Amino acid sequence: MRIALGVVSETTSPGADMCQVFQHPPRSACLSVRPGDPHIRSVSALLGVGIVSAALLGPAIPARADDGPSYGDDRRGIFLPFLNAPRPGDAITKSPRLGLSFGGEARPVLVDTGSTGIVVSAARIPDNERLPSEPGRLTYSSSGRIMVGRWVRVPVSIVGRDGASVVTQPIRVLAVDRIDCTARARSCTPEMTPAHVAMMGIGFGREDDSQTQSTPDTNPLLNAEPPGPGSVHRGYVLTRRGVHVGLTRANTRGRYRFVKLDPHPHVPGDWLGVPVCITVDGREPAACGRGLLDTGVSGMFLTLPPSQVADSLRADAGDHAMLRPGTRLGFQFGDAAGYAIDVGDRAAPLAPERIVLNTVRPQPFVNTGLHILNGFDVLYDADRGYYGFRARDAQSASDDP
């Protein structure tokens, strides 16, 4: 039996490309596969998940769960239900969407925590050619698509399923005129005047992944003006059924446990990804790096050193590497939150649809995908640099704090 380590990626079904424009695995996780390349193999890993306590997973990183900030004096906020929110008690399985308007009819846009900034077809912005602009571009390294256009400054309205809405200050929006492709694009077709681009990135710390122009001033939720007295505490609470824009005493109730984020060394006012430690079958020491809780993908993207997974791989009938059924992957975010994945348990609500494993890049990393919202509500505090987790019953019918 021969198992090659390197970039281990899952083969996707037609119409389910994991490296679509809205998706952001690590840069080398979606390389084009050349026949005979000994360093690239396929992994087929349907994963099952259970939320576990920090004690069960054990200590992972020196940082401990922070008591976190207080929101007792904060009042400005609004809840926007997703247009495609699951029914009460159901799990989230698809990337969420909200309505987006530039003064006319609100049209659906994908809500993506794996990128930053609104990126839409230029034709969606009325009279965009008359607006002051500057050249802009954003590369989605997963697919190799390069969104090329102009940054225009406009206010936008964000609309939830129940008609609730919030307006932003004028912000930079990338009006896309064409799509180019990188030299090693995995899934890309050049296109002029594309009509299908519709992305609302609300993530943070994404500048180092080919998104150098996507700074916090382009994040619509951090520039929104929700109702209420006083100033806005910038941030949001994300649940599987919607997003609370602005942090308040009401929407931050509950047993949140916080992780302190590290300031971005090159972008004032931004923060690096959530610290995480990853174990395979309980093997210590854990591999510690950064995590991305990404609503733009339904799969998981995992970067680990070869030594961490070598004993947990097997070859399938085609001599392709795959994670052995029953392999247990543990993810610990400080001692604020943790969960584990059992390979082969298809019924668990936190199970990603598939996994892409990279053993080449030196920095451990996990993009959990969107299914983590079936176990946790998450809070991003942009003003003070905290990330919060609130464990939920996956069958709970309510998203009230």
- CATH classification at residue 161: 2.40.70.10
Residue 169 lies in a domain: yes
Residue 287 lies in a domain: no
Residue 225 lies in a domain: yes
Residue 374 lies in a domain: no
Residue-level pLDDT at 11: 32
Residue-level pLDDT at 109: 98
Residue 23 above 60 pLDDT? no
Residue 115 lies in a domain: yes
Average pLDDT over every residue of 220-249: 97
Residue 52 above 90 pLDDT? no
Position with higher pLDDT, 302 vs 209 = 302
Cβ(236)–Cβ(380) below 8 Å = yes
Residue 109 lies in a domain: yes
**Number of structural domains found in the chain:** 1
CA dist., res. 218 & res. 200, Å (int):
10
Residue-level pLDDT at 181: 94
- C-alpha distances in angstroms, 77 versus 208, 245, 299, 367? 30, 5, 31, 28
pLDDT band at 210 (very low <50, low <70, confident <90, very high): low
Residue 140 lies in a domain: yes
Residue-level pLDDT at 357: 80
Provide the residue range defining the domain that includes 166. Answer: 93-229
pTM above 0.85, yes or no: no
- Please state, for a pLDDT cut of 70, what percent of the chain lies above it: 78
235-238/78-81 β-pairing: unpaired
pLDDT band at 2 (very low <50, low <70, confident <90, very high): very low
305 preceded by a cis bond (ω within 30 of 0):
no
Among candidate residues 399, 401, 400, 351, the one with its CA nearest the CA of residue 89: 399
For CA atoms 257, 263, 268, 271, give the dihedral sign: negative
Average pLDDT over every residue of 129-152: 87
Residue 343 lies in a domain: no
Q: Please give the angle made by the CA atoms of 299, 120 and 147, to the nearest 5 degrees.
A: 75
Residue-level pLDDT at 360: 82
